[in-house]
Amino acid sequence: MRWLVVVLACVALSVAEDAPGKKVESVPVENVVREETVDGQQVHFDGYTVYRLVPQDTSQLQYIASLETDQDVPYDFWKHPSEPGKYVDINVAPQKKEKFEKEIEARNITSAVLIPDLEQEIRNCTANGPNPDDPSDRNHESFFLDYRSYGEIVKHLDLLVYKYNSKEKGLLVEKHKIGLSSEKRDLFVLQITTATTNPKKSIWLDAGMHAREWIAPPTVMYIVEELLKGYREDGNVTNILNNFTIYAMPMVNPDGYEYSRTVNRMWRKTRSVQRGFSLNGLLGRVGGCVGVDPNRNFRFQWGSAGASTNCAMDTYAGPSAFSEPETHAMSDFIYIRREHMLAYLTFHAYSQMWMTPWGYTNALPPNYNKMMEVADKATRALTRVHGTRYRTGSSTNLLYAASGGSDDWAHGVAKIPYSYTVELRDDGRYGFVLPTSHIIPTGEETWAGVKAMLQELVHRRDDKVE
Ligand SMILES: [Zn+2]
């Protein structure tokens, strides 16, 4: 086997988590990695190894793509195959490792181990955080020292309202309940505005659509907090808030997120119960599928490319567009405010990209050049903070087609002139199990990017979709 000795950062090749390769629909075999246990016990990943493969030609690519529908124990793809030269990250179960390595070697596919033992990496990722039972760890400053539960995030939103909502200061902070998840958790949007007579435009920020992408919710919380702290303290922030109402939804998929915390760290989808059936040979379980990929569930070119019709797959688009209460509530909230919405940003992980629509086709959207100008400004500001490098471009061209995404819907249906999907840290060393020590640096740099974007958008506040 030809191993890459080079540090992973050098493999600056694309493909993000939201860009699946071509799906071949076949027998709906549930992936054991993403399967809940019968009794709801925690899933462990002892001996699981995450590999990075770089296919050099179409035959290598086709072989890798065929693993996605392997009917024995399917592989958990962290980055889907797209084209030769672009990397693919795969989480491989211990019982498949020997066969996998032999096949890769026989085909002379370039490969490297990203994470030798996933269970160990998950433990490392969570071991050093503060103790949630210690009241001193629950204060304002320590919020970003660990990945927080849905309940802790909601409490922190309440704290922000309590602390910053001030008529005297002219800063209005409100928490709106916009609906319920499948498991009846409240869905919240934080609204930040100022009491000026200026007619305002609106900016939308969301995170937590994909459960296992833990870095995204605290990043949006960090941005929100910087906006609140900066009002009347930082002239640029004051100017931003005097021009824009900010809507932030830091936890779009609370059911999936809590499931990823308590049962299966690698869970991605919602937790709605689907009518289909799944057979899991290993666990001997027969039952319905659970969950829909919320970022394939938006009603714009729904199900047209890069989304699965197989309810067992991680990119399952759902039985219909907006079948999920989470995407339904969120899109309704945005749609009725669409005339004032200037920018839509959704935060995911990982791969460090600031992407524009379209996701369903390699054609470019109406405002592509304008969106790219702003994205380039944002990522330059972001890189200046810690040197983290981002790439910009349309998601299909940077990656691969994936239809039913929220950014496509925001631009194509809600006609929001600036629409982005941001894939946060890292570039693959830790993937979804990014250590807690990255939360604050990721917040700092992403805030710098968003701030630069918002300052630029003040000058573009009357732009429309062309
Ligand atoms: Zn995602």
pTM, entire model: 0.88
Instruction: Give 171's strand partners.
Output: 166, 194
Is 174 annotated as catalytic? no
- Say if CB 316 and CB 383 are below 8 A apart: no
- Of 3 and 74, the one with more pLDDT: 74
- For the record, the structure tokens of 141 come out as 């400053």
Report how far Cα 164 is from the mean position of its chain's Cα atoms.
28
Among the listed residues 30, 423, 444, 445, the single catalytic one is 423
CA of 167 to the centre of ligand 1 (A): 37
Average pLDDT over residues 427-448: 96
pLDDT at position 28 is 31
Among 122-136, 201-215, 347-361, the least confident range: 122-136
Domains assigned to the chain: 8-122 (3.30.70.340), 135-259+308-458 (3.40.630.10)
Closest CA to 434 of 338, 377, 352, 361: 352
Q: How far is the CA of 255 from the centre of ligand 1 (A)?
A: 15
What is the pLDDT at residue 280? 42
Cα 407 to ligand 1 centre (Å) = 12
Q: How does pLDDT run across 29-62, given as a tens digit for each residue? A: 333 334 445 456 889 999 999 999 999 999 999 9
**How many whole angstroms from 348 Cα to the centroid of ligand 1?**
4
Read off the pLDDT of residues 337-391 as tens digits, 9 standing for 90 and up: 999 999 999 999 999 999 999 999 999 998 999 999 999 999 999 999 999 999 9
Hey, how many other C-beta atoms are within 10 angstroms of the C-beta on 317? 27
Give the Cα separation of 344 and 216 in Å (integer). Answer: 15
Tell me, in angstroms, the distance from the centre of ligand 1 to residue 314's CA.
11
The model's pLDDT over 397-423, given as tens digits with 9 standing for 90+, comes to 888 889 999 999 999 999 999 999 999
Position 276 scores a pLDDT of 53
Mean pLDDT calculated for residue range 446-460: 98
Of 246, 434, 442, 452, the C-alpha closest to 343 is 246
List CB contacts of 304: < 8 A, sequence separation 6 or more: 360, 403, 404
69 pLDDT tier (thresholds 50, 70, 90): confident
Inter-axis angle of helices 439-458 and 368-386, nearest 10: 140
Question: Mean pLDDT score of the chain, rounded to an integer?
Answer: 87
φ/ψ bin of 293: left (φ > 0), alpha (ψ from -120 to 50), beta (otherwise): beta
**What percent of the chain stands above pLDDT 70?**
84
Lowest mean pLDDT among 103-112, 126-135, 172-181: 126-135
Query: How far from 107 is each of 82, 104, 289, CA to CA, in Å?
Result: 18, 5, 34
Strand partners, 179: 187
State pLDDT tens for residues 292-307. 999 999 999 999 988 9
Q: What is the pLDDT of residue 126?
A: 67
Instruction: Tell me the DSSP string of 184-212.
Output: -PEEEEEEEEE--SSPPEEEEEEE-SSTT
pLDDT at 228: 98
Q: Per-residue pLDDT tens for 152-185?
A: 999 999 999 999 999 999 999 999 999 999 999 9
For residue 73, the model assigns a pLDDT of 65
Q: What is the structure's pLDDT at 82?
A: 86
Among residues 205, 234, 235, 209, the alpha carbon closest in space to that of 221 is found at 205
Residue of 105, 150, 110, 371 whose CA lies nearest to 253: 150
For residue 208, report the distance from its CA to the centre of ligand 1, in Å. 8
Interval between CA 127 and ligand 1 midpoint (Å) = 24
Residues 437 and 424: their CA atoms lie apart, in Å, by 14
Cα(297) to centroid(ligand 1), Å: 13
Find the length of the chain. Answer: 466
SS3 content of the chain, % helix, strand, coil (to 5): 35, 20, 45
CA gyration radius, the chain: 21
Q: What angle do CA 46, 51, 57 make, to 5 degrees?
A: 155
- For residue 193, what are the β-bridge partners? 172
pLDDT digits (tens, 9 = 90+) for 243-289: 999 999 999 999 999 999 999 999 999 999 987 544 443 333 345 68
Give me the mean pLDDT over the 311-326 stretch.
Answer: 94
Q: Report DSSP letters for 227-291, one per residue.
A: HHHHTTTSHHHHHHHHHEEEEEES-S-HHHHHHHHHT-TT--S--PEEEEEEEETTTTEEEEEE-
Cα separation, 222 vs 211, whole angstroms: 18
Query: Residue 346: which of 398, 386, 298, 306 has the closest Cα?
Result: 298
Q: What is the mean pLDDT of residues 129-158?
A: 76
CB distance 221 to 249 below 8 Å: no
What pLDDT does residue 72 have?
Answer: 64
Burial tier of 240 (Cβ tally within 10 Å: 0-12, 13-18, 19+): buried
Q: Using alpha carbons, select from 151, 128, 130 the residue that is nearest to residue 142.
A: 130
432 CA distance to ligand 1 centroid (A)? 10
CB distance 348 to 424 below 8 Å: yes
**pLDDT band per the 50, 70, 90 thresholds, residue 71:** low
- pLDDT at position 70: 72
List the one residue out of 179, 240, 231, 205 whose CA is nearest residue 454.
240
Are 433 and 127 in contact by the 8 Å Cβ rule? The answer is no
Q: What is the pLDDT of residue 267?
A: 96
Which structure tokens are listed for 451? 């701030």
- pLDDT on residue 127: 54
Q: Which of 131-135, 141-145, 348-352 has the highest mean pLDDT?
A: 348-352
Residue with tokens 């940077």: 398
- ∠ at Cα 143 (43, 214), nearest 5°? 35
Contact by Cβ (8 Å): 295, 213: no
